[in-house]
Structure 1
Amino acid sequence: MSDNTQTKNAASGSNATRNRRSNKKAASNTGKIIVAVILILLIAVYGGGVYYYSNHFPHNTVINHVKVGEMDTAAAEKAFTDDLASHKISLKEKKRTEVIDANDVGTVINVGSQITDLHDSMNPWLWFTNLFGEKKYTVKLDVTYDEAKLEEVVNNLECFKKENVTAPKSAYIKAGDSQFEIVPEVLGNTVKKKALLQLIGTDLSTGITKIDFEKENLYKLPKYYAKDQAVTDALAKANKYASGTITYDFDYTKETLDYNTSKDWVKISKDFKVTLDESKVGDYIEKLGSKYNTMGSSRPFTTAYGSKINVYGGDYGWKIYFDKEKAQLIEELKSGKDVEREPVYSYKARCRKSAKNDIGNSYVEVSISNQEVWLFVNGECKVNSSVVTGDPTKGHQTYTGVYALTYKQRNATLTGPNAGGGSYSSKVSFWMPFNGGQGLHDATWRSSFGGSIYRGNGSHGCVNCPYSTAAVLYKYVEEGFPVIVY
Structure 2
Amino acid sequence: MKRKSLLLVPLIMVLVIVSIYSYFAITYQNKFLPNTKIGQIDVSQLSRKQAEKKLKDNIHENEFVILDNDKTWKAIPKQQLGITFDVNKTVSDTIAKQNPWLWFMNYVNQPKNVPIVMTDYNKDELTKQSNALKTALTNFNKERTPTKNAKIEMKDGSFQITDEVAGNSIDVNKFISAFESHVKEGKGSINLESYVQKPTVLATDTQLKKELADINKLTEVNATYLINGQKVAIPKETIASWLTTNDKGDVTLNQDLVKEYVTQLGQQYNTSTNPTKFNSTKRGEVSVPAGSYSWTIATDSETEQLTKLILSGKGFTDRVPAYQGSATPESALLSNTYIEVDLQAQHMWYYKDGKVALDTDIISGKPSTPTPSGVFYVWNKKRNETLRGEDYASPVDYWMPIDWTGVGIHDSPWQNANAYGGTSYTTVGSHGCINTPPDVCAKLFNMIDVGVPVVIF
TM-score of the superposition, structure 2-length normalised? 0.58
Q: CA deviation at 1:413?
A: 1.2
Contact 2:370-2:432 at 8 Å conserved across structures: yes
Q: State how 1:88-237 maps to structure 2 within 5 Å.
A: 121=101, 138=109, 140=111, 166-176=145-155, 180-189=159-168, 220-222=196-198, 224-226=200-202, 232=208, 235=211
1:346 corresponds to: 324
Pairwise CA distance, 1:405: 2.6
The residue number in structure 2 matching 1:410 is 382
Q: Which runs of 5+ in 2 are unaligned?
A: 23-33, 36-68, 72-97, 114-139, 176-190
Letter in 2 for 1:363: Y
Q: Secondary structure at the match of 2:147?
A: coil
Does structure 2 conserve the Cα–Cα contact (< 8 Å) formed by 1:313 and 1:401? yes
CA distance in 1 between partners of 2:231 and 2:156 (Å): 23
For the Cα contact (< 8 Å) 1:351–1:359, is it kept in 2?
no
Q: Distance in 2 between matches of 1:261 and 1:190?
A: 35
Counterparts of 1:326-345 in structure 2 under 5 Å? 326-340=303-317, 341-345=319-323
1:331 and 1:387 mapped to 2: Cα distance?
Answer: 51
Determine the C-alpha separation between the residues in 2 that align with 1:454 and 1:467. 17
Q: In the aligned structure 2, how far is the partner of 1:386 from the partner of 1:350?
A: 31
| 1:465 corresponding residue in structure 2 | 436
Distance 2:302 2:266 in 1: 11
Match of 1:371 in 2: 346
Q: Give the distance between the partners of 1:230 and 1:46, measured in 2 at CA.
A: 72
Flag the structure with larger Rg.
1
Shift of 1:376: 1.0
Q: CA RMSD in A?
A: 5.0
Post-superposition offset of 1:304: 2.1
Match of 2:14 among 46, 49, 53: 49
- Cα distance in 2 for partners of 1:123, 1:329 equals 78
Identity of aligned residues (%): 25
- Asked if 2 retains the 8 angstrom alpha-carbon contact of 1:390 and 1:458, the reply is yes
User: Are positions 1:292 and 2:269 aligned together?
Assistant: yes
In the alignment of these two chains, the number of paired residues is 341
**1: CA distance, partners of 2:70 / 2:329:** 84
Deviations along 1:373-405, one digit per CA (max 9) or x if unpaired, are 11111221111112222222xx22211222233
Listed one character per residue, the Cα deviations across residues 222-260 of structure 1 (whole Å, up to 9, x for unaligned) are 252227989749947983995554321236532233652
CA distance in structure 2 between the partners assigned to 1:260 and 1:292 by the alignment? 21
Residue aligning to 2:78: none
Task: Quickly say closer, same or farther: Cα 1:230–1:276, change in 2 above 3 A.
Answer: farther
Distance 2:163 2:144 in 1: 19
Task: Give the distance between the partners of 1:369 and 1:175, measured in 2 at CA.
Answer: 57
Tell me the amino acid that sits aligned with residue 442 of structure 1.
Answer: D
What amino acid maps onto 1:169 in structure 2? K
2:253, 2:243 → 1: CA distance? 5
Runs (4+) off by over 6 Å: 40-44, 227-231, 269-275, 350-353
> Contact 2:229–2:329 (CA<8 Å) still a contact in 1?
no
Contact 2:337 2:353 in 1 (8 A): yes
Does the residue aligned with 1:446 lie in a helix, a strand or coil?
coil
Q: Deviations over 1:168-226 (max 9, x none)?
A: 3333342456775543321235699xx9xxxxxxxxxxxxxxxxx9xx96582325222
Residue 332 of structure 1: how far off its partner (Å): 2.9
SS in 1 for 2:402: strand
Give 1:123 shift.
10
Contact 2:272 2:296 in 1 (8 A): yes
Partners of 2:349 and 2:316 in 1: how far apart?
42
Q: After superposition, where does 1:295-310 map in structure 2 within 5 Å?
A: 295-305=272-282, 307-310=284-287
Q: Are the equivalent residues in 1 in contact too, given 2:211–2:250 (CA < 8 A)?
A: no
Matched residue type, 2:300: D
**TM-score normalised to structure 1 length:** 0.55
State the distance in 2 between where 1:453 and 1:182 align: 75
